[in-house]
Amino acid sequence: MSAAPTDTRARRNVTVLVLAQAFLGAQMPMIFTIGGLAGQSLATNLCFATLPISLIVLGSMLSATPLSAIMQRYGRRTGFFIGTLGGALGGVVGATGLYYASFPLFLAGSLLTGIYMSAQGFYRFAAADTASDAFRPRAISYVMAGGLASAIIGPQVVKVTADAMVIPFMGTYVAVIATNVIGSLLFLFIDIPRPEAPGADAPKGRSRWELLTTPRIAVAMICAMVSYALMNLMMTSTPLAVVGCGFDKSYAADVVTAHVLAMFAPSFFTGHLINRFGVEKIVATGLAILAGSGAVALQGVQLENFFIALVLLGLGWNFGFIGATTMLAGAHTKEERGRMQGMNDLFVFGGVTLASLASGGLMNCSGGSAQEGWTAVTLAMAPFLALAGGALIWLVMRPEARRARL
């Protein structure tokens, strides 16, 4: 299906957002690779080793609604600049925390980094802003595909910088600062019109409660939340599990690389699959692949188990999360965009925050070995997959949905 002629501007914006996802997005696998390991070296209680990653996600959750409101009023560019500012400040404070061996200061830097993570989450919505209905699924997919480069860049930077300074991991945080400063220049080229201020007689759209109780929106949010939270649950613990099972941290970086590649590689065709088979089937496929990831992880803690499980985890996240995002993008009006997208990311990253908090506790405080902890992390996926799967089946089997297919 060809894009409409009006998609010229959309394609330009997608190009800018792909580059931002690739370059600025590299800081996330960098931090997720070393965050738990750095936390393990600073925390007095190993149960809190993944707390830095949890604080990143918490910062993202807390800033999602304000950022959405800022973008609605002042435009996407302003919001994205605020995101890179938060990422740079987070790198400065995190590096300072490492220098002084201060876990609380390191956590404060993680909280600030969450502002960038939240802004990055809006890249996918920005891709849809100027796109036609036909081009929208592919626009979202192409932007997510920019993560392929970040999957390669981020972990490789970790290998070069983690031990580049006397203080372990500090070099990586210096690289994070530079990434945000340089990458912010990309947003000078974005061309998304600032939303017009609504007039007194302009349509207001549905309230937050009305949006939440719309079946399609509710199910999209549940599937997005479960897909992202379970991906984070396993990914957060992976470096700890790999190193805890006797492998070098360079192998942990390689596993994270494979995982992030799998997260974004399918994005080149996810949009096409959604257009061909329907968004519900793609989301269902994603949930099934996430279940397969857990099954592989339970088979053992050899290096190949980690690689295969994390590749499946990335693939499942891609189908589940992009599918749910596409479902959500088509279920609200332009007037509802600000409150809907902010509310969605508040719930999504709230779930991810809880998952990352649980990840460290399950990994380090569930049994006496890394293998037992990894098993606990994997088993925790089951009830949430059942919740998302059940919600999706309910949506598809509703009488309204069945009539629409006839």
CATH code, domain with 322: 1.20.1250.20
What the block records as the tokens of 243 is 């190193």
Q: Is 386 domain-assigned?
A: yes
Q: Is 372 domain-assigned?
A: yes
| pLDDT value of residue 5 | 52
| Residues 241/378, Cβ–Cβ less than 8 Å | no
What's the predicted TM-score (pTM) here? Answer: 0.75
As a whole number of angstroms, the distance between CA 266 and CA 394 comes to 27
State which H helix or E strand residue 261 sits in: helix 249-264
As a whole number of angstroms, the distance between CA 149 and CA 144 comes to 11
| Residues 339/208, Cβ–Cβ less than 8 Å | yes
| pLDDT value of residue 298 | 94
| pLDDT value of residue 92 | 97
Per the structure, the count of domains in the chain is 1
CA separation, residue 182 to residues 81, 94, 326 (Å): 11, 19, 30
As a whole number of angstroms, the distance between CA 381 and CA 360 comes to 14
| Per-residue pLDDT of the chain in tens (406 residues, 90 and over written 9) | 444 456 888 889 999 999 999 999 999 989 988 888 888 889 888 778 778 988 998 898 889 889 988 998 899 999 999 999 999 999 999 999 999 999 999 999 999 999 999 999 889 888 888 888 788 878 887 887 888 888 888 888 988 998 889 998 999 999 999 999 999 999 999 988 877 666 666 667 787 788 888 888 999 999 999 999 999 899 888 888 998 888 887 888 889 889 988 988 887 788 889 888 999 999 999 999 999 999 999 999 899 999 999 999 999 999 999 899 888 877 777 777 767 877 887 788 788 888 878 887 888 787 778 889 999 999 999 999 999 999 999 998 887 655 444 4
| Residues 50/236, Cβ–Cβ less than 8 Å | yes
Other Cβ atoms closer than 10 A to 327: 24
Burial class of 399 by CB neighbour count within 10 A (0 to 12, 13 to 18, 19+): exposed
As a whole number of angstroms, the distance between CA 79 and CA 359 comes to 30
Phi first, then psi: what are they for 192, rounded to 5°?
A: -115, 115
- The residue written with tokens 């984070």 in the block is 232
Q: Is 161 domain-assigned?
A: yes
Domain interval for residue 264 = 7-190+206-405
Q: Is 196 domain-assigned?
A: no
* 367 dihedral zone (left: phi>0; alpha: psi -120 to 50; beta): left
Q: Is 180 domain-assigned?
A: yes
Q: Is 200 domain-assigned?
A: no
CA separation, residue 299 to residues 140, 261, 317 (Å): 35, 23, 21
| pLDDT value of residue 353 | 81
From 90, 107, 138, 96, select the one nearest 44 (Cα to Cα).
Answer: 107
| pLDDT value of residue 202 | 64
Distance of CA 333 to the CA centre of its chain: 24
| pLDDT value of residue 197 | 65
Q: Is 162 domain-assigned?
A: yes
| Residues 53/358, Cβ–Cβ less than 8 Å | no
Q: Is 77 domain-assigned?
A: yes
As a whole number of angstroms, the distance between CA 305 and CA 300 comes to 6
As a whole number of angstroms, the distance between CA 289 and CA 249 comes to 27
| pLDDT value of residue 4 | 45
Residues 6+ apart with CB under 8 A from 146: 17, 18, 19, 20, 21, 22, 25, 264
